[in-house]
Each structure stands twice: as C-alpha cells, then as structure tokens.
C-alpha cells in the first residue's frame, strides 16, 4: 500500500488562505459573489504562472532539438471534434439528487449527495463537457463552434504544416501552452479542477516500433521534472492505468500522481495514443497525415506519446509541496520553500529606512538586479516583518541596503531557507546571486 508523509494539518485551507491574502489567486468576480470554478490570478500568481510555464518550456522546448512549438486557436469547427471523438465520447455521467436537486458527477460521489446526504438519484445520463458557441452573427448549425477542451487537436491538424516548415522527422514533438475549457459537472478543491484552465502539452511523434521505449522515456523524464523543481519524491508516485480503464484512443496511460491533502490524485498524464489521432483526422479531412521515410522508402502513420499537465494544477502542487511552518527567533514562521525558478520574486530589495540617501542606493541596486531577476521592492514596516513577508511568498533572497552601504558599497544578502546573512559588494551582487541560484539547481 502506497503511503506518504503526514502533511501540515489543514494544508489546503492554509495554502488557499495564503493565496488570497498575499495575491496568488482570487475567486473570479468576487465583488459580485464570485463565479463558480473560475479564478483570477493576482500579482504573485501571475508571476508564478509565468515561472511554471517558463520552467516547462525550457525543459520541453528550449532545451531540446527534437521539439518545436505552435500556438493553435481556441475556437474550432465541429468537424475537428467529430474526428477526435469528443462529440461522441467526451462525456461524464451526470445524476440529479432527487431530494435537493443538485447535480453531480456520478463517479465522484460514492452514491451519497455531498449537499444533503441523500442516496436517491436520477438514472445517470451522458453529459458532454465541451463548451458550445456560435461563430459569426447568424445562429444555426452552420455557425456552431466549440471552445477546445484540450490543446492536442491543433497539434494533430497542423502535423503536415509543421513537417513542411521545419523538416523534422520522427521522433519529434510539437509542444503548446494554451487555454482549454471543460464544462465540469463538479469542479472541486480550489484550483485543482476548474472549467477554464491552461495546459502544457506535447505530442511526440515516433515510428510505431519505437513507441514503447519513448512512452517509458517520457514517463521518467516528466517525473524527474517535478523532482528537479523541489517536489519531494515521497509526494509523487506513478500509476499505470489498467487496460479496462484506458481511454478509447490509448494503448497505455500512466498518471504522475501527487499526494494532495485529500489523498493521491492525478497531476500529469503520459499517454501512448497510438496512431488514433492522425488516422482519424486523415479519414475525416481527406488529408494524408503520414511520414515518408526517404531512407527506407516507407510511408507510415506515426504513433504519438503525449505528456500533458495543467499549468494551474502544477502551480497548486508546487505551493502545497513548498508550504512549511518552522520557528525563527522564537516565532512561528510560514515559509514557501519554492525553487528559485518558480518563486514569484527571486529577490527582494529592502532599504533599512525610507531616508532619501538609502532609497537612492536601493534603487540603484534594484535596477542592477532587475535585468536578471524578478524583483520586489519593499520599504514598509520593520525589517523583521519584511523578511517574514518575503518568506511567506517564497522569495529566496532578500537584499538589505543599510547605512553602512553608503560607506562600504556593500549590502546584506539573506537566504530564505537558512536565514543566513552574507555581506556582498554591490558590484559583485548579480554574480553572487547567479552563483547561488546555479548551485541551488
């Protein structure tokens, strides 16, 4: 039986309260009572989302020669979703509680209404999760369009375009970061499951005979990505789907699971989709979505290995894994031990006082740092309170400018995790922090 370490009590509540209080995310349209299952990301959340995307992009695109990127449209015609199977099979079982009339996803409630406790429900019926809309001024079947429920299909429909413009050959990947929309019946657990979300997804096209080895490669590679970014190994596990639980297109799917406050749940999926997608779009569109190998003089439909994760779900697990409470100088301290590559701010510049001469030097220091790091600048309250505030939002390094700085042109660099302080010349500060962050990787 898999086990995981005991987490901080009430961890989800503590992290969501911190997120609201410090500006990671808020309920959408909160002044109007909110809008269920949608969230707006504040100054810290917007910064951290950008860092998560950047870390993924560097790993999956920038650091590789066998992956290119596209940015496909959100809106698409029904023909795409008919070919992919979404119009027919992208459904969840919907039931209504006969007592309180609330609607639920049948496979998530264990036969008991979460609202009133009743066990009496309607018969389950298929509920399509796609958002349907109209394109253009005239309503009617010819104007029907759908918001994409996943980013994958744009990578399949552009397969020939990418081949022609990049001259790539299998094995190679097409990556994308973008918004997707699913009309979830029961959104839940803060930003874990929402109706509007952003995906980081890659379709890796391989010769059919090589699919199994690439499937295992991407499971290992994606699991290691979370470890490299500071998620403890005991909070992660791999769960291979049983054959009877596979999606209709899948020849194999493995979830990277995280130990959430409610237990093990999916973080990222890695699937061997076979040749289903390219074959379906070839059949429905009439286009030949194949690869011709000039070396062997053979033509074949590549298999696809797909790693896919939600940006906000990744952000959520990084926050949960980083949340700690410890004691510093006799006081309980809340600290987010985020990897510096994920932190909303990597460095905070803190003048010891608001006196103009310190502000002048502090602004000079800030300008030097901003070329290389995302920085905060904070002059309010005591230096101790400012340290605690930066600890709580995960800032790895604080740079304090004091009155001695006016004489010796040095500043004090404080480490978030150890609270150790080091005196560093201003002219060597950028190099010093680069060395510290490099060593932290």
> According to the model, what pLDDT value does residue 440 have?
56
CA nearest neighbour of 92 among 125, 115, 114 = 125
> According to the model, what pLDDT value does residue 108 have?
77
351-387 burial, b if ≥16 CB within 10 A, otherwise e? Answer: bbeeeeebeebbeebbebbeeebbbbbbeeeebeebb
CA 284 to chain centroid, in Å, comes to 32
Query: What is the enclosing helix (H) or strand (E) of 331?
Result: strand 331-336
CA nearest neighbour of 180 among 161, 200, 204, 202 = 200
CATH class of the domain comprising 345-440 = alpha beta
Q: How long is the chain? A: 441
CA nearest neighbour of 255 among 244, 242, 180 = 242
Q: What distances in angstroms separate CA 298 from CA 97, 171, 291, 294, 302, one per listed residue? A: 57, 15, 8, 7, 12
pTM of the full predicted structure? Answer: 0.89
Following CA atoms 298, 301, 302, 303 in sequence, which dihedral angle do they give, to the nearest 10 degrees? -140
CA nearest neighbour of 2 among 320, 260, 254, 264 = 264
For residues 156 and 289, the answer to whether their CB atoms sit within 8 Å is yes
The residue ranges of every structural domain in the chain are 11-76+148-319, 345-440
Which parts of the chain register pLDDT below 70? Answer: 1-5, 138-142, 185-188, 438-441
> According to the model, what pLDDT value does residue 1 have?
45
What the block records as the tokens of 92 is 């969840």
Q: How far, in Å, CA of 223 to CA of 240, rounded?
A: 13
Fold for the domain defined by 11-76+148-319: BirA Bifunctional Protein; domain 2 (3.30.930)
């Amino acid at each position: 039986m898999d086990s995981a370490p005991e987490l901080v009590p009430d961890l989800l509540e503590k992290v969501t309260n911190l997120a609201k209080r410090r500006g990671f995310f808020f309920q959408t349209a909160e002044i109007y009572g909110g809008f269920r299952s949608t969230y707006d990301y504040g100054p810290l959340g917007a910064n951290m989302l950008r860092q998560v995307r950047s870390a993924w992009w560097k790993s999956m695109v920038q650091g590789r020669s066998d992956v290119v990127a596209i940015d496909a449209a959100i809106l698409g015609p029904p023909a795409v979703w008919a070919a992919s199977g979404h119009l027919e099979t992208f459904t969840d079982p919907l039931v209504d509680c006969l007592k309180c009339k609330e609607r639920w996803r049948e496979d998530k409630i264990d036969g008991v209404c979460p609202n009133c406790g009743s066990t009496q429900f309607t018969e389950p019926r298929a509920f399509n999760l796609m958002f349907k809309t109209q394109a253009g001024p005239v309503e009617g079947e010819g104007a029907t369009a759908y918001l994409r429920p996943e980013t994958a299909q744009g990578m399949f429909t552009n397969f020939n375009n990418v081949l022609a413009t990049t001259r790539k050959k299998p094995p190679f990947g097409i990556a994308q970061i973008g918004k997707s929309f699913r009309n979830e019946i029961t959104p839940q657990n803060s930003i874990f499951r929402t109706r509007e979300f952003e995906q980081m997804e890659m379709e890796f096209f391989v010769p059919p005979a090589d699919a199994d080895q690439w499937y295992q490669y991407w499971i290992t590679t994606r699991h290691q990505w979370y470890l490299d970014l500071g998620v403890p190994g005991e909070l992660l596990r791999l769960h291979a789907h049983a054959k009877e639980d596979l999606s209709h297109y899948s020849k194999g799917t493995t979830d990277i699971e995280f130990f959430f406050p409610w237990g093990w749940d999916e973080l990222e999926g890695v699937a061997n989709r076979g040749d289903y997608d390219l074959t379906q779009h070839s059949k429905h569109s009439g286009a030949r979505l194949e690869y011709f190998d000039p070396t062997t003089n053979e033509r074949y439909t590549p298999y696809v290995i797909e790693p896919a994760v939600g940006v906000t779900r990744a952000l959520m697990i990084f926050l949960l894994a980083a949340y700690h409470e410890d004691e510093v100088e006799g006081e309980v301290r809340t600290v987010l031990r985020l990897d510096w590559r994920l932190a909303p701010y990597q460095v905070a510049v803190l003048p010891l006082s608001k006196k103009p001469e310190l502000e002048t030097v502090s602004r000079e220091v800030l300008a030097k740092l901003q070329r290389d790091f995302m920085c905060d600048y904070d002059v309010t309250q005591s230096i101790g309170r400012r340290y605690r505030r930066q600890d709580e939002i995960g800032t790895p390094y604080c740079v304090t400018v004091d009155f001695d700085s006016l004489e010796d042109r040095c500043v004090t660099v404080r480490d978030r995790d150890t609270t150790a302080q080091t005196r560093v010349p201003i002219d060597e500060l950028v190099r010093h922090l680069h060395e510290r962050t490099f060593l932290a990787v």
